[in-house]
Amino acid sequence: MLIFGFSLPTLPALALGDSTVTLEDVTPPVAPRGDLPPSEERIAKLFENNTFSVVNVFDTTLKPELNLTGSVEVPEGNGTGIVWDKDGHIVTNYHVIGSALSKGLGKKKPVARVSLLVEDGVQKTFQATLVGADKTKDLAVLKIDAPEALLHPISVGKSSNLKVGQRCLAIGNPFGFDHTLTVGVVSGLNRDINSQTGVIIGGGIQTDAAINPGNSGGPLLNSEGKLIGINAAIFTRTGTSAGIGFAIPVDAVSRVVPQLIKYGKIMHAGLKIQVAPDIVAKQLNVKKGSLVLSVLPSSTAAKAGLVATRRGIAGNILLGDVILAVDNLSIKNPPELAKALDDHEIGDRVVLKVQRDDKVFDIHVELEESLN
Protein backbone atom coordinates (compact mmCIF):
# COMPACT_ATOMS: atom_id res chain seq x y z
CA MET A 1 0.00 0.00 0.00
CA LEU A 2 1.34 3.44 -0.92
CA ILE A 3 0.53 6.52 1.17
CA PHE A 4 2.06 9.79 -0.03
CA GLY A 5 4.71 7.77 -1.86
CA PHE A 6 5.79 5.66 1.08
CA SER A 7 5.20 1.93 1.43
CA LEU A 8 4.09 0.42 4.78
CA PRO A 9 5.08 -3.05 5.89
CA THR A 10 2.37 -5.63 6.10
CA LEU A 11 1.41 -6.21 9.80
CA PRO A 12 0.68 -9.71 11.10
CA ALA A 13 -2.95 -10.45 11.97
CA LEU A 14 -3.84 -9.85 15.60
CA ALA A 15 -4.53 -13.00 17.58
CA LEU A 16 -8.05 -13.04 19.06
CA GLY A 17 -7.15 -15.57 21.72
CA ASP A 18 -4.78 -18.23 22.81
CA SER A 19 -6.31 -21.63 22.27
CA THR A 20 -3.95 -23.07 24.83
CA VAL A 21 -5.51 -21.00 27.70
CA THR A 22 -8.78 -22.14 29.26
CA LEU A 23 -11.36 -20.03 31.07
CA GLU A 24 -10.48 -21.83 34.25
CA ASP A 25 -6.86 -20.69 33.84
CA VAL A 26 -7.87 -17.00 33.82
CA THR A 27 -10.63 -17.20 36.44
CA PRO A 28 -9.36 -16.28 39.90
CA PRO A 29 -10.25 -18.57 42.78
CA VAL A 30 -13.27 -17.48 44.85
CA ALA A 31 -12.70 -17.55 48.56
CA PRO A 32 -15.53 -18.99 50.68
CA ARG A 33 -17.54 -16.35 52.54
CA GLY A 34 -17.01 -17.81 55.95
CA ASP A 35 -19.08 -16.98 58.98
CA LEU A 36 -20.29 -13.43 59.51
CA PRO A 37 -19.02 -11.66 62.61
CA PRO A 38 -21.50 -12.17 65.47
CA SER A 39 -22.69 -8.56 65.32
CA GLU A 40 -23.45 -8.75 61.58
CA GLU A 41 -25.05 -12.19 61.89
CA ARG A 42 -27.34 -10.82 64.59
CA ILE A 43 -28.47 -7.90 62.44
CA ALA A 44 -29.07 -10.17 59.46
CA LYS A 45 -31.19 -12.50 61.61
CA LEU A 46 -33.18 -9.58 63.02
CA PHE A 47 -34.00 -8.44 59.49
CA GLU A 48 -34.98 -11.95 58.36
CA ASN A 49 -37.19 -12.45 61.41
CA ASN A 50 -39.03 -9.14 61.00
CA THR A 51 -39.29 -8.65 57.25
CA PHE A 52 -42.53 -10.67 57.05
CA SER A 53 -44.08 -8.30 59.62
CA VAL A 54 -43.47 -5.25 57.41
CA VAL A 55 -45.84 -4.34 54.56
CA ASN A 56 -46.02 -1.82 51.74
CA VAL A 57 -48.98 0.59 51.89
CA PHE A 58 -50.35 2.48 48.87
CA ASP A 59 -53.09 5.10 49.07
CA THR A 60 -55.82 3.91 46.65
CA THR A 61 -56.65 7.45 45.51
CA LEU A 62 -53.20 7.99 44.04
CA LYS A 63 -52.32 6.24 40.79
CA PRO A 64 -48.67 5.30 40.21
CA GLU A 65 -47.13 7.20 37.31
CA LEU A 66 -44.93 5.58 34.68
CA ASN A 67 -41.42 6.98 34.94
CA LEU A 68 -39.45 6.78 31.70
CA THR A 69 -36.46 8.83 32.84
CA GLY A 70 -34.88 6.13 34.98
CA SER A 71 -34.93 8.37 38.06
CA VAL A 72 -36.58 7.25 41.26
CA GLU A 73 -39.59 9.16 42.51
CA VAL A 74 -41.76 8.55 45.55
CA PRO A 75 -45.48 9.09 45.00
CA GLU A 76 -47.38 10.67 47.85
CA GLY A 77 -49.27 7.96 49.69
CA ASN A 78 -46.54 5.34 49.32
CA GLY A 79 -45.48 4.19 52.76
CA THR A 80 -44.89 1.32 55.12
CA GLY A 81 -46.95 -0.50 57.72
CA ILE A 82 -46.61 -3.28 60.27
CA VAL A 83 -48.69 -6.37 60.95
CA TRP A 84 -50.21 -5.80 64.38
CA ASP A 85 -52.08 -9.07 65.00
CA LYS A 86 -53.43 -12.27 63.46
CA ASP A 87 -56.77 -10.55 62.75
CA GLY A 88 -55.23 -8.64 59.86
CA HIS A 89 -54.84 -5.23 61.52
CA ILE A 90 -52.13 -3.12 59.89
CA VAL A 91 -50.67 -0.06 61.63
CA THR A 92 -49.28 2.85 59.60
CA ASN A 93 -49.09 6.65 59.70
CA TYR A 94 -52.21 8.74 59.22
CA HIS A 95 -50.45 10.85 56.58
CA VAL A 96 -49.68 7.79 54.42
CA ILE A 97 -53.41 7.42 53.67
CA GLY A 98 -54.31 11.05 54.29
CA SER A 99 -55.49 11.67 50.73
CA ALA A 100 -58.05 8.85 50.90
CA LEU A 101 -59.24 9.95 54.35
CA SER A 102 -59.66 13.54 53.17
CA LYS A 103 -61.99 12.24 50.46
CA GLY A 104 -64.08 10.34 52.98
CA LEU A 105 -63.31 6.91 51.53
CA GLY A 106 -62.75 5.34 54.93
CA LYS A 107 -66.44 4.73 55.49
CA LYS A 108 -67.24 3.48 52.00
CA LYS A 109 -64.33 2.07 50.02
CA PRO A 110 -60.88 0.61 50.61
CA VAL A 111 -58.41 3.34 51.48
CA ALA A 112 -55.21 1.48 50.65
CA ARG A 113 -53.56 -1.47 48.95
CA VAL A 114 -51.32 -3.47 51.24
CA SER A 115 -48.57 -5.67 49.82
CA LEU A 116 -47.73 -8.52 52.17
CA LEU A 117 -44.57 -10.61 51.85
CA VAL A 118 -45.70 -14.24 51.65
CA GLU A 119 -42.32 -15.80 50.85
CA ASP A 120 -38.88 -14.58 49.87
CA GLY A 121 -39.27 -12.27 46.90
CA VAL A 122 -43.02 -12.89 46.56
CA GLN A 123 -45.65 -10.39 47.66
CA LYS A 124 -49.42 -10.56 47.63
CA THR A 125 -51.61 -7.48 47.56
CA PHE A 126 -54.81 -7.01 49.58
CA GLN A 127 -57.39 -4.25 49.67
CA ALA A 128 -57.39 -2.51 53.06
CA THR A 129 -60.29 -0.81 54.80
CA LEU A 130 -60.03 1.77 57.56
CA VAL A 131 -60.57 0.64 61.15
CA GLY A 132 -59.63 3.86 62.91
CA ALA A 133 -57.32 6.86 62.63
CA ASP A 134 -56.17 9.82 64.67
CA LYS A 135 -54.56 12.85 63.07
CA THR A 136 -53.14 14.19 66.34
CA LYS A 137 -51.07 11.03 66.79
CA ASP A 138 -50.41 10.49 63.06
CA LEU A 139 -51.54 6.87 63.39
CA ALA A 140 -54.03 4.75 61.48
CA VAL A 141 -55.19 1.13 61.66
CA LEU A 142 -56.19 -0.72 58.50
CA LYS A 143 -57.74 -4.16 58.06
CA ILE A 144 -56.92 -6.72 55.39
CA ASP A 145 -58.64 -10.03 54.74
CA ALA A 146 -55.54 -12.21 54.63
CA PRO A 147 -55.14 -15.86 55.68
CA GLU A 148 -53.90 -16.13 59.24
CA ALA A 149 -50.93 -18.20 58.08
CA LEU A 150 -49.61 -15.20 56.11
CA LEU A 151 -49.85 -12.79 59.04
CA HIS A 152 -46.76 -12.44 61.21
CA PRO A 153 -47.41 -9.87 63.98
CA ILE A 154 -44.45 -7.78 64.99
CA SER A 155 -42.97 -8.23 68.46
CA VAL A 156 -43.83 -5.15 70.55
CA GLY A 157 -41.32 -3.76 73.04
CA LYS A 158 -41.10 -0.67 75.26
CA SER A 159 -39.82 2.84 74.71
CA SER A 160 -39.82 4.12 78.29
CA ASN A 161 -36.43 2.55 79.02
CA LEU A 162 -34.58 3.62 75.86
CA LYS A 163 -31.12 5.13 76.16
CA VAL A 164 -29.32 7.48 73.81
CA GLY A 165 -26.60 5.52 72.06
CA GLN A 166 -28.31 2.15 71.90
CA ARG A 167 -28.53 0.48 68.50
CA CYS A 168 -31.73 0.58 66.49
CA LEU A 169 -32.88 -0.66 63.07
CA ALA A 170 -35.44 0.69 60.61
CA ILE A 171 -37.21 -1.44 58.00
CA GLY A 172 -39.33 0.18 55.32
CA ASN A 173 -39.92 0.97 51.66
CA PRO A 174 -37.91 4.14 50.94
CA PHE A 175 -38.31 5.43 47.38
CA GLY A 176 -40.33 2.32 46.60
CA PHE A 177 -37.47 -0.10 47.38
CA ASP A 178 -39.39 -2.58 49.50
CA HIS A 179 -38.03 -4.11 52.69
CA THR A 180 -34.96 -1.96 53.05
CA LEU A 181 -32.89 -2.11 56.24
CA THR A 182 -30.98 0.79 57.77
CA VAL A 183 -29.06 0.71 61.02
CA GLY A 184 -28.20 3.46 63.49
CA VAL A 185 -28.52 4.49 67.10
CA VAL A 186 -31.07 6.26 69.24
CA SER A 187 -29.63 9.77 69.02
CA GLY A 188 -32.20 11.65 71.10
CA LEU A 189 -35.32 11.22 73.23
CA ASN A 190 -38.44 13.24 74.03
CA ARG A 191 -38.27 15.22 70.79
CA ASP A 192 -41.24 17.13 69.41
CA ILE A 193 -42.17 15.66 66.02
CA ASN A 194 -43.52 18.10 63.43
CA SER A 195 -45.81 15.58 61.79
CA GLN A 196 -46.94 15.80 58.17
CA THR A 197 -50.49 15.99 59.54
CA GLY A 198 -49.68 19.49 60.76
CA VAL A 199 -49.60 18.67 64.47
CA ILE A 200 -46.78 18.35 66.98
CA ILE A 201 -46.34 14.93 68.60
CA GLY A 202 -44.39 14.94 71.85
CA GLY A 203 -42.03 12.32 73.22
CA GLY A 204 -40.53 11.35 69.86
CA ILE A 205 -37.49 9.13 69.35
CA GLN A 206 -34.66 10.65 67.32
CA THR A 207 -32.41 8.32 65.31
CA ASP A 208 -29.62 8.57 62.78
CA ALA A 209 -30.78 5.40 61.00
CA ALA A 210 -31.52 6.56 57.46
CA ILE A 211 -35.23 7.30 57.09
CA ASN A 212 -36.48 8.56 53.74
CA PRO A 213 -39.83 9.14 52.00
CA GLY A 214 -41.57 5.77 51.92
CA ASN A 215 -40.31 4.75 55.38
CA SER A 216 -43.29 6.41 57.06
CA GLY A 217 -45.34 3.95 59.09
CA GLY A 218 -42.54 1.39 59.29
CA PRO A 219 -40.96 -0.06 62.40
CA LEU A 220 -38.02 1.17 64.42
CA LEU A 221 -36.61 -1.87 66.23
CA ASN A 222 -34.19 -2.34 69.09
CA SER A 223 -31.25 -4.77 69.00
CA GLU A 224 -33.57 -7.56 70.18
CA GLY A 225 -35.84 -7.05 67.17
CA LYS A 226 -38.69 -5.60 69.23
CA LEU A 227 -40.74 -2.62 68.09
CA ILE A 228 -39.77 0.61 69.86
CA GLY A 229 -41.33 3.15 67.50
CA ILE A 230 -43.19 3.93 64.29
CA ASN A 231 -41.09 5.98 61.87
CA ALA A 232 -42.95 9.17 61.10
CA ALA A 233 -40.78 12.08 59.96
CA ILE A 234 -37.35 13.35 59.02
CA PHE A 235 -35.58 16.66 59.44
CA THR A 236 -34.35 17.63 56.00
CA ARG A 237 -33.65 20.58 53.73
CA THR A 238 -33.47 18.44 50.59
CA GLY A 239 -36.31 15.92 50.99
CA THR A 240 -33.91 13.07 51.73
CA SER A 241 -32.33 11.78 54.92
CA ALA A 242 -29.99 14.17 56.72
CA GLY A 243 -29.28 11.75 59.54
CA ILE A 244 -32.10 13.00 61.75
CA GLY A 245 -35.26 10.89 61.75
CA PHE A 246 -38.10 10.67 64.22
CA ALA A 247 -40.33 7.85 65.40
CA ILE A 248 -43.52 7.80 67.47
CA PRO A 249 -42.62 5.91 70.69
CA VAL A 250 -44.13 2.44 70.95
CA ASP A 251 -45.56 3.12 74.42
CA ALA A 252 -47.83 5.72 72.82
CA VAL A 253 -48.59 3.38 69.90
CA SER A 254 -49.56 0.61 72.33
CA ARG A 255 -52.06 2.95 74.02
CA VAL A 256 -53.52 4.34 70.81
CA VAL A 257 -53.86 1.28 68.54
CA PRO A 258 -56.18 -0.78 70.83
CA GLN A 259 -58.50 2.24 71.09
CA LEU A 260 -58.51 2.72 67.31
CA ILE A 261 -59.38 -0.97 66.89
CA LYS A 262 -62.14 -0.92 69.50
CA TYR A 263 -63.66 2.55 69.06
CA GLY A 264 -62.39 3.72 65.67
CA LYS A 265 -60.91 6.76 67.39
CA ILE A 266 -58.79 7.73 70.39
CA MET A 267 -60.64 8.36 73.62
CA HIS A 268 -58.56 11.34 74.73
CA ALA A 269 -58.49 11.93 78.46
CA GLY A 270 -59.15 15.52 79.36
CA LEU A 271 -61.34 18.13 80.99
CA LYS A 272 -64.56 19.20 79.33
CA ILE A 273 -63.45 22.79 79.26
CA GLN A 274 -62.41 25.36 76.69
CA VAL A 275 -59.22 27.31 77.26
CA ALA A 276 -58.18 30.63 75.80
CA PRO A 277 -55.78 30.67 72.83
CA ASP A 278 -52.48 32.39 73.52
CA ILE A 279 -53.45 35.56 71.67
CA VAL A 280 -56.66 35.94 73.73
CA ALA A 281 -54.86 35.14 77.00
CA LYS A 282 -52.27 37.83 76.30
CA GLN A 283 -55.00 40.38 75.56
CA LEU A 284 -56.47 39.55 78.97
CA ASN A 285 -53.03 39.95 80.58
CA VAL A 286 -52.64 36.24 81.41
CA LYS A 287 -48.89 35.74 81.01
CA LYS A 288 -48.53 32.09 82.05
CA GLY A 289 -50.76 29.09 82.49
CA SER A 290 -53.97 28.17 80.67
CA LEU A 291 -57.02 30.40 81.13
CA VAL A 292 -60.37 28.59 81.42
CA LEU A 293 -62.95 30.17 79.10
CA SER A 294 -65.86 27.77 79.65
CA VAL A 295 -66.73 24.66 81.63
CA LEU A 296 -69.37 22.13 80.58
CA PRO A 297 -71.99 22.26 83.39
CA SER A 298 -72.31 18.47 83.77
CA SER A 299 -68.58 17.79 83.65
CA THR A 300 -66.33 16.52 86.42
CA ALA A 301 -64.43 19.82 86.14
CA ALA A 302 -67.62 21.74 86.99
CA LYS A 303 -68.34 19.41 89.90
CA ALA A 304 -64.79 19.94 91.17
CA GLY A 305 -65.41 23.70 91.21
CA LEU A 306 -63.39 24.92 88.22
CA VAL A 307 -64.56 28.46 87.36
CA ALA A 308 -64.97 29.77 83.81
CA THR A 309 -64.39 33.28 82.44
CA ARG A 310 -67.65 35.29 82.43
CA ARG A 311 -69.01 38.81 82.30
CA GLY A 312 -69.83 40.80 85.38
CA ILE A 313 -73.01 42.79 86.03
CA ALA A 314 -71.46 45.86 84.44
CA GLY A 315 -70.43 43.88 81.38
CA ASN A 316 -66.79 43.69 82.37
CA ILE A 317 -64.84 40.46 81.88
CA LEU A 318 -64.20 38.41 85.01
CA LEU A 319 -61.30 36.04 84.49
CA GLY A 320 -61.83 32.38 85.21
CA ASP A 321 -59.33 30.01 86.77
CA VAL A 322 -55.85 29.87 85.29
CA ILE A 323 -54.38 26.34 85.34
CA LEU A 324 -50.72 26.63 86.36
CA ALA A 325 -49.81 22.96 86.82
CA VAL A 326 -51.07 19.39 86.49
CA ASP A 327 -49.73 17.03 89.15
CA ASN A 328 -46.88 19.49 89.84
CA LEU A 329 -46.00 19.64 86.12
CA SER A 330 -45.79 23.32 85.24
CA ILE A 331 -48.16 24.56 82.53
CA LYS A 332 -47.12 27.61 80.51
CA ASN A 333 -49.70 27.53 77.71
CA PRO A 334 -52.65 25.52 76.31
CA PRO A 335 -50.48 23.07 74.26
CA GLU A 336 -48.60 22.13 77.43
CA LEU A 337 -51.92 21.51 79.20
CA ALA A 338 -53.09 19.24 76.38
CA LYS A 339 -49.79 17.37 76.41
CA ALA A 340 -49.91 16.88 80.20
CA LEU A 341 -53.46 15.51 80.11
CA ASP A 342 -52.68 13.30 77.12
CA ASP A 343 -50.33 11.25 79.26
CA HIS A 344 -53.30 10.13 81.38
CA GLU A 345 -56.21 7.75 80.89
CA ILE A 346 -59.92 8.46 81.24
CA GLY A 347 -60.83 8.00 84.90
CA ASP A 348 -57.47 9.12 86.27
CA ARG A 349 -57.56 11.69 89.07
CA VAL A 350 -55.22 14.65 88.76
CA VAL A 351 -54.39 17.68 90.88
CA LEU A 352 -54.74 21.03 89.14
CA LYS A 353 -52.89 24.01 90.58
CA VAL A 354 -55.07 27.00 89.70
CA GLN A 355 -54.92 30.73 90.20
CA ARG A 356 -58.19 32.52 90.97
CA ASP A 357 -57.87 36.26 91.47
CA ASP A 358 -54.83 36.54 93.76
CA LYS A 359 -55.08 33.08 95.30
CA VAL A 360 -53.36 29.85 94.21
CA PHE A 361 -54.76 26.51 95.36
CA ASP A 362 -55.29 22.88 94.31
CA ILE A 363 -58.37 21.31 92.73
CA HIS A 364 -58.73 17.51 92.51
CA VAL A 365 -60.60 16.36 89.41
CA GLU A 366 -61.32 13.10 87.58
CA LEU A 367 -60.47 13.09 83.87
CA GLU A 368 -63.10 12.17 81.28
CA GLU A 369 -63.27 12.10 77.52
CA SER A 370 -61.98 15.33 76.04
CA LEU A 371 -64.22 17.65 74.05
CA ASN A 372 -61.63 17.69 71.21
- Positions marked active-site: 95, 138, 216
Residue 150, φ and ψ in degrees, nearest 5:
-90, -10
Across-strand partners of 244? none
3-state secondary structure of 336: helix
CA-CA distance, 364 to 367, in Å (whole number)? Answer: 10
Nearest to 146 by CA among 101, 86, 198, 186: 86
Give the integer Cα–Cα distance in Å for 283 and 163: 43
Contacts of 266 (CB under 8 A, 6+ apart): 134, 136, 137, 256, 259, 260
| Distance from C-alpha of 57 to C-alpha of 144, rounded to nearest angstrom | 11
Element holding 143 (H helix, E strand): strand 139-144
Give the separation between CA 227 and CA 77, rounded to whole angstroms.
23
Q: What letter represents residue 338's amino acid? A: A
Strand partners, 275: 292
Assess contact for 207 and 191: CB atoms under 8 A: no
**What residues contact 226, with CB distance under 8 A and at least 6 apart?**
155, 156, 157, 158
Contacts of 154 (CB under 8 A, 6+ apart): 50, 53, 54, 82, 83, 84, 219, 227
Per DSSP, the residues of 95-130 read: GGGHHHHHTTGGGTS--EEEEEEEETTEEEEEEEEE
What are the backbone angles phi and psi of residue 261, rounded to the nearest 5°? -70, -40
Residue (of 94, 105, 107, 95) closest to 61 by Cα position: 105
